Amino acid sequence: MIDDKKVLFSGMQATGNLTLGNYLGALKNWLTLSDEYECFYSVVDLHSITVRQDPAELRSRARKLLTLYIAAGLDPKKNCIYYQSHVSAHAELSWILNCFTYMGELNRMTQFKDKSAKHADNINAGLFTYPVLMAADILLYQADVVPVGKDQLQHLEITRDIAQRFNAIYGDVFTIPEPYLGKSGAKIMSLQDPTKKMSKSDENVNASIYLMDDKDTIIRKFKRAVTDSDGCVAYNDTQIGIHNLIDIYSACTGKTPEEIVKEFDGKGYGDFKLAVGESVADILMPLQERFHQLEKDKAYIDGIIKENAEKAGYFANKTLRKVQKKVGFPERIR
């Protein structure tokens, strides 16, 4: 707890381009949390290298992601927005926690199995111990809460197990994090396969709306969105493509699904898809304009990177020094 506020930690990988799903499902909701929580939002670039990256591209994507956090409305004075790789305590604590994590626990991680199948030519140890680095990310800041989707809940559970195991041996060292149970973000599905989440790694560019897509591109992608042959705008579990488009329109306009169905009663899918595309373009335009302004202000972004790395490092190292002392490492001579 910092200044009587509970601590919240979250982050996104510096790979691919952020999608509308990332924005509506997570980033948009982050904006409301800084009044209630002390928030640490990381660009988790250490996690990114479990898959081979082009170095120049990774640096560029990391900076763009940090800039997007700010362009989306996160105040870097109220929220600690930083690069994971600029705080060495993440990697140091991860090694220590590796020694308190069991192989059997890591073997059960479904995400390791999924990623191993996708990257069969590069099943590296980092991919296997990825959940331990995630645990270090969270525990370094004594996070009380972590916003997680269903696909990350297993990683939070192993984080809690590791923390409880360490505390049982050495005393009350780590805060045991809870999943953030506030208002959940919209779950946005692929425009080409509405049974799957919209993903920044989808090979089909028409499946995802990227945050920097221009209006014409957005409209074109929605026109190509998979629907069905029913021809009517209805909110049910059988018309999953239309269900997804209604969820998107609802998240962008604030209208309820019932209001949307009524609005498009008697109208075809063409009218509806156009309206959804325009609503998405409208909410992304201010973010895009702000991003382009910030991108030109190199000194401002550099200042935030330096200042917030120092802030994150201060809190992270407080925890790391305590852990190092508990496990018996020699104290540093200052």
The answer to whether residues 41 and 168 belong to one domain is yes
pLDDT at 35: 86
Amino acid identity of residue 170, one-letter, is Y
The answer to whether residues 288 and 307 belong to one domain is no
Q: Is 183 one of the annotated active-site residues of the chain?
A: no
Q: Is 326 one of the annotated active-site residues of the chain?
A: no
- Whether 313 is in a domain gets the answer yes
What lies within 8 Å, CB to CB, of 322 at 6+ separation is 173
**59: domain CATH number?**
3.40.50.620
The answer to whether residues 85 and 146 belong to one domain is yes
The string of pLDDT tens digits covering residues 162-209 is: 999 999 999 999 999 999 876 656 789 999 999 999 988 888 999 999
The answer to whether residues 61 and 152 belong to one domain is yes
The string of pLDDT tens digits covering residues 253-289 is: 999 999 999 999 989 899 999 999 999 999 999 999 9
- Domain with 269, as residue range(s), is 205-293
- Whether 101 is in a domain gets the answer yes
Q: Is the pLDDT of residue 214 over 70?
A: yes
The answer to whether residues 152 and 224 belong to one domain is no
- Across the range 286-308, mean pLDDT stands at 97
What lies within 8 Å, CB to CB, of 11 at 6+ separation is 41, 42, 43, 44, 84, 137
120's tokens: 């069969």
Q: What is the DSSP string of 77-122?
A: TTEEEEEGGG-THHHHHHHHHHTTS-HHHHHT-HHHHHHHHHTTT-
pLDDT at 52: 87
The answer to whether residues 265 and 173 belong to one domain is no
The answer to whether residues 262 and 322 belong to one domain is no
Greatest alpha-carbon pair distance for the chain in Å reads 77
The answer to whether residues 286 and 163 belong to one domain is no
pLDDT at 183: 61
- Whether 319 is in a domain gets the answer yes
The string of pLDDT tens digits covering residues 307-318 is: 999 999 999 999
Percentage with pLDDT > 90 across the chain: 76
The answer to whether residues 264 and 224 belong to one domain is yes
56-65, 117-126, 233-242 — which is least confidently predicted? 117-126
Dihedral class, residue 4 (left if φ above 0, else alpha if ψ from -120 to 50, else beta): left
CA-wise closest residue to 309 among 27, 42, 30, 10 = 42
Q: What CA–CA distance (Å, rounded) separates 238 from 106?
A: 37
Higher pLDDT: 72 or 186? It is 72
pLDDT at 15: 83
Q: What is the DSSP letter of 331?
A: P
pLDDT at 308: 98
- Tokens 């998107």, residue located: 248
Higher pLDDT: 212 or 26? It is 212
- Whether 127 is in a domain gets the answer yes
The answer to whether residues 149 and 232 belong to one domain is no
What lies within 8 Å, CB to CB, of 173 at 6+ separation is 166, 167, 319, 322, 323, 326
28, 64, 115, 273: which is the annotated catalytic residue?
Answer: 115
What is the tally of structural domains in the chain?
2
Beta-strand relationship, 37-43 and 6-12: parallel
Q: Is the pLDDT of residue 224 over 70?
A: yes
200, 223, 255, 311: which is the annotated catalytic residue?
Answer: 200
pLDDT at 171: 97
Q: What CA–CA distance (Å, rounded) separates 18 from 4?
A: 33
Q: Please state, rounded to an integer, the average pLDDT across all residues of the chain.
A: 92
Torsion sign, CA atoms 22, 25, 26, 30: positive
- Give the chain's radius of gyration (CA, Å): 21
Q: Is 223 one of the annotated active-site residues of the chain?
A: no
